[in-house]
Amino acid sequence: MRPAPIPASLPRWPRAAFPTDLVGATTRLRSHLEGRIEADGAVRSPCHSRVLESALLMALLDRTGLEPDARARLADYLATHRDSPRRLDRLLARAALGGPTAASLVPLDVADFLAHAPDFTSARKHALLHAVLLLLGAAPTTGFPDPDAFSPHGLHAWARVQVTAVKAILAHAYGRSAAISEDDLALLRSTQHPGTLWEGNLLIHLSVLHALAPLPGQHRMVADGIRTALAHQRPDGGIPFISDEDTWVTATAAVALHTAGAPRAAMDTVAQRLLRLQHPGGWSYTERAQLADVDCTSAALEALHLADPDTHRTAIRRAIDHLTALQAPDGGFPTYLAGAPSEACMTAAAANALSTQGPIRRHALDAALDHLASQQRPDGSFAPDWSSSRHHTVFRATLAAAHHPGPPDSPARRIIRRATQLALNSQNSDGGWGQQDGDASDALSTAYALITLTGHPAPAPAARGTAYLLTQQRPDGSISSIPDSIGPRPFGFSVPALADVFTLLALGHLDHRLTPAPLTA
């Protein structure tokens, strides 16, 4: 995600073409984000409450009769979402609160909703949504899903537990208890330890409790699990999807801060934390989790490279070895496990990390760029990823290509041309960009698109985008934006610090393209 060298053929843009407060706005934002680095090097930004998990926990409290005060707080939170503009949130909130009947809630267009998730997850996500709706009394019993929806083959640990819990929930609902094996139950029970949230994931935790609740002899485990979940109840009464993704936020913040000229001391503090959190090769999204992912590993690797590639060469080498072991024969990278389908966003993340290694990993980088070019759509976008903004994968692919552009007809050049055209074609009249075509502008999508345009010859589109972005800055320097994180796909969630991180990253990239700021600034 760090800036690529600006080609000599692209002159610096005149700073005068951009908002006069650009230097001051960048400084305020950088100071705000730098101030969020805690003594242990972490940039913490707990996830906000989400309707999905809040509704599941309230249904569990209704089933068990436990924790009435916590239930009341949950009900207050869900009541604020009864008329949510998000159709699924509105449906889940009303169902959990005992609103409209199941028959009137069924018209959710499940196929359209799941179109925002990768195709290879479709069967599992259909089953998950079916199970959730059944638990809330918001779906008819239309038939037990195809067994393929519960196949653990090739799944990482989180997905194995999730599909097993969903299978058990649906088996209870359809009177098919024989479908639940002792191995299934042992797997579910293995995630339950009082006071410890397995892998930091509330959705999986609550799914497991719902799977265990109907079984004899499980009351104590379920009660302990409820208390564990309630330790994460937010001040607004709701429950988040995950406890946090602070390792991911910290790593990306480090890249943004370095790009925007943060002092060496800040980078060193963050780097020391990342070194402490490295697993045998990669990093997970939170210190609570053990499963490493390509996205966090790539960001942490770039952060260590920017902090000091010589000092951190051992950790960087371990991370590179971890990434290259995951690269598929098609040149792409999955999110978690070798052998899983390649994904464009993860491939772009890994390619940016590989580009730190110069010619040493050139073959792996070339293969990744070839894969990205093959997956890019004619309009410049890519398949859905872990963001609800199509500009997310686009900017990361653009950066990966810009680090090794090659000749005019190379795959990297094609990626850049298509991505740039998408950004130019989709800019809104207010200067910003929205998540999808026709959507209102938001700061995160605008930051992504602005990074894509830093390799464009003309400054005018970037200047208009910058002007919009600065209108979203608060007095304390932070940035206001709608959330765009997704997990599990296609369910959205909110990590507020990411708007600060990616806006600072965009402004840092922009500064690399501008004529030098006055010394008095």
Active site residues: 295
Q: In this structure, are residues 470 and 21 in contact, taking their beta carbons and an 8 Å threshold?
A: yes
Q: 234: which strand partners?
A: none
Residue 468's nearest CA partner among 423, 428, 432 is 432
Residue 333 DSSP label: B
Whole-number Å distance between alpha carbons of 38 and 427: 37
DSSP string across 116-155: TS-GGGHHHHHHHHHHHHHHTT-S----PPPGGGG--TT-
How far CA 138 is from CA of 99, 135, 212, 471, 517, in Å, comes to 10, 8, 21, 41, 58
Determine the number of helices (DSSP H) and then strands (DSSP E) in the chain: 22, 4
Q: In this structure, are residues 253 and 207 in contact, taking their beta carbons and an 8 Å threshold?
A: no
At 71, list the tokens: 């239930």
Q: Under DSSP, is residue 493 helix (H, G, I), strand (E, B) or coil?
A: strand
At 324, list the tokens: 């290259």
DSSP string across 241-295: SBS--HHHHHHHHHHHHHHTT--HHHHHHHHHHHHHH--SS---SSTT-----HH
CA 62 to chain centre: 31
Q: 242: which strand partners?
A: 201
Q: In this structure, are residues 162 and 211 in contact, taking their beta carbons and an 8 Å threshold?
A: no
Whole-number Å distance between alpha carbons of 253 and 36: 10
Residue 483 has phi, psi (to 5 degrees) of -75, 160
At 81, list the tokens: 């979402």
134: number of CA atoms within 13 Å, CB side? 24
